[in-house]
């Protein structure tokens, strides 16, 4: 246990140092990015000198660079993301709106993809070498290698524009009709959730189709390794049911790589939406990041980048802890 505790402490300290370095790097990257918001503020002919001075004081443009850097570091490490240049409201409020939407879309797609991958990968590994195995691998690889924006545009054109089965864009639309009722601005909770799920369904289907292939192949490879073990032959020789051999003995022991991959994939659930959310005009963190970058809304760009990086660090840390607990060789190395 001492070795495990030492490993946990070391990985925690490494994660904290990594986070601080990323926060600092983000500041300098955006500082070097041109044009600078202060320059644009001074060039704006619609603002009076007093308005320019007020905005410079509000956003801290008139402070020395070193002071701005330390204020930024303190704010980011305490999750005070400041005020958006464009929306003129706390960035935290924007993230509170957008983060759950992205987690719903990408978290839901990741969970569905891994559930499908677990069962399909288990079955085709057990039935390896047949038509089912070959066809699933080929179909999976086809979807896995499709760009998300290309597949997304095809689905939008076919299922939203032509067949009108799904909405074209947005996360929620008060003009929609659900069960014959106009949603409106203050709908009942059930109607609101149905409208949200209707808007989320199409991009989630696209993401699931692209994501499940890698999960299937990972589970299949892990299962094939397990099926070569002696205890599987023993279970078969004892006359256990095929279902018990596959799911209770083989699949359970093949889950370690899949669990690790799932934890890491969840880390990217909040940041993987840049292309998908842009194609579907889905109002999540990815679309917010792209819009903020185009508007030079640096507080929003900083906050979204840092939140994404933080989640990646946290979930990688969790994956390392799980791996070290399950496999003692990791903590020794």
Helix/strand/coil percentages in the chain, nearest 5: 75, 0, 25
Q: Which fold has domain 96-327?
A: MetI-like fold (1.10.3720)
Output 1 or 152, whichever has higher pLDDT.
152
- How far apart (Å, rounded) are the C-alpha atoms in residues 95 and 306? 12
Mean pLDDT across 195-214: 87
Note the pLDDT of residue 22.
92
Average pLDDT over residues 157-173: 86
Average pLDDT over residues 197-202: 89
Looking at residue 21, its pLDDT comes to 92
Peptide bond into 326 cis (omega under 30): no
Per-domain residue ranges of the chain: 2-77, 96-327
* Residue pLDDT, tens place only, 31-73: 777 566 666 666 666 777 777 777 777 777 777 878 888 888 8
pLDDT of residue 42: 67
CA 179 to chain centre: 31
pLDDT of residue 295: 82
Q: Determine what percent of the chain is predicted with pLDDT higher than 90.
A: 5
Tens-place pLDDT, residues 249-261: 777 778 778 877 8
Q: Is the pLDDT of residue 149 over 80?
A: yes
pLDDT tens figures, 104-120 = 888 888 889 888 888 88
**How far, in Å, CA of 209 to CA of 139, rounded?**
10
- Give 1: exposed, middle or buried? Use CB within 10 Å, 0-12, 13-18, 19+: exposed
pLDDT by residue (tens digit) across 116-148?
A: 888 888 888 887 777 777 787 788 788 878 888
> What does the pLDDT average to over 83-103?
86
More confident residue, 182 or 110: 110
Helix, strand, or coil here: 101? helix
What does the alpha-carbon distance between residue 237 and residue 224 come to, in Å, rounded to a whole number? 18
Q: Exposed (0-12), middle (13-18) or buried (19+): which is 201, by Cβ within 10 Å?
A: middle
Buried b (16+ CB within 10 A) or exposed e, 97-106: ebbebbbbbb
Contact 118, 124 (CB under 8 A): no
């Amino acid at each position: 246990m001492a070795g495990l505790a030492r490993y946990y402490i070391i990985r925690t300290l490494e994660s904290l140092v990594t986070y601080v370095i990323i926060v600092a790097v983000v500041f300098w990257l955006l500082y070097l990015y041109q044009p600078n918001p202060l320059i644009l503020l001074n060039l704006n002919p619609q603002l009076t000198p007093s308005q320019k001075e007020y905005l410079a004081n509000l956003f801290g443009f008139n402070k020395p660079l070193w002071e701005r850097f330390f204020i930024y570091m303190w704010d980011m490490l305490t999750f005070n993301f400041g005020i958006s240049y464009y929306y003129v409201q706390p960035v935290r409020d924007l993230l509170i709106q957008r983060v759950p939407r992205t987690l719903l879309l990408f978290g839901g797609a990741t969970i569905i993809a891994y559930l499908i991958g677990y069962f399909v990968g288990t079955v085709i590994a057990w039935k390896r070498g047949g038509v089912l195995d070959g066809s699933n691998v080929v179909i999976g690889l086809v979807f896995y290698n499709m760009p998300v924006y290309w597949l997304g545009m095809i689905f939008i054109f076919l299922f939203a524009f032509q067949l009108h089965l799904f909405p074209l864009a947005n996360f929620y639309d008060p003009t929609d009709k659900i069960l014959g009722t106009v949603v409106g601005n203050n709908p009942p909770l059930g109607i609101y959730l149905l409208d949200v799920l209707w808007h989320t369904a199409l991009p989630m289907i696209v993401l699931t189709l692209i994501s499940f292939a890698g999960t299937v192949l990972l589970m299949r490879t892990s299962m094939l390794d397990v099926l070569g073990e002696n205890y599987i032959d023993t279970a078969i020789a004892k006359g256990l049911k095929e279902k018990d051999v596959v799911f209770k003995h083989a699949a359970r022991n093949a889950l370690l790589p899949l669990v690790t991959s799932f934890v890491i994939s969840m880390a990217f659930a909040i940041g993987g939406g840049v292309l998908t959310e842009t194609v579907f005009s889905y109002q999540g963190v990815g679309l917010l990041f792209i819009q903020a970058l185009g508007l030079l809304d640096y507080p929003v760009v900083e906050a979204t980048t840092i939140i994404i990086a933080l989640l990646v660090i946290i979930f990688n840390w969790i994956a390392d802890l799980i791996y070290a607990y399950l496999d003692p060789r990791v903590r020794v190395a």
